[in-house]
Amino acid sequence: MKEEPAGEVKLSPLERKFQETMSAAVLVGRSTTPGADGGDTLNDERYTIRQAFKVADKQNTWKFLVRLQYGELDLSLPLELEVFWAGDTPVITLTNFHIPALGTFSARVLVHTDRYAGTWQHGKKGGHLFGRIIGERDPQDENSTAVRPDL
């Protein structure tokens, strides 16, 4: 599922670094969901990003070619998301964003070096998410090394 960006998009050094970090990457971590007892429950999460690139003619829009794995769901699709900058830190932003098979979400996820953290909301439920960004491995080879050994 490789896609070429339409048109040449000039990237700043920070945008280029973000694109490199988020392409051929796997976000592996945890998210919280509200528990029945009022406390939060920790859940494992894994998001594979095959490619990320800035969309031409849309100032803050990036396209992420992703594989979402959550519970029994395993879904690959393109997502066009807004990315804003807090100084030198990219913040992936979803506001009432519909994801097929999952529903409508709002989230703010910041990326710093090889880590991510943020908040998510789905209707009345919400929580936190956090984890590491690692290089994608070849799923056909259990002994493969990271495609991006720099992470």
Mean pLDDT, range 34-41, rounded to an integer: 87
Do 148 and 137 form a contact (C-beta atoms < 8 A)? no
Q: Tell me what the pLDDT averaged over the chain comes to.
A: 88
Domains detected in the chain:
13-135 (2.40.128)
The pLDDT, as a whole number, for residue 7 is 63
Higher pLDDT, 147 or 70: 70
How many Cα atoms are found within 13 Å in the side-chain-facing hemisphere of 12? 7
The answer, yes or no, to whether residue 71 has pLDDT greater than 90, is no
The number of CA neighbours under 13 Å toward the Cβ of 20 is 12
- Per-residue pLDDT tens digits for 106-134: 999 999 999 999 999 999 999 999 999 99
What is d(CA 22, CA 51) in angstroms, rounded to the nearest whole number? 7
pTM: 0.84
Calculate mean pLDDT across residues 70-99: 95
Q: Return d(Cα 32, Cα 141) in angstroms, integer.
A: 31
- Distance (Å, rounded) from C-alpha 73 to C-alpha 79? 16
pLDDT at 92 over 50: yes
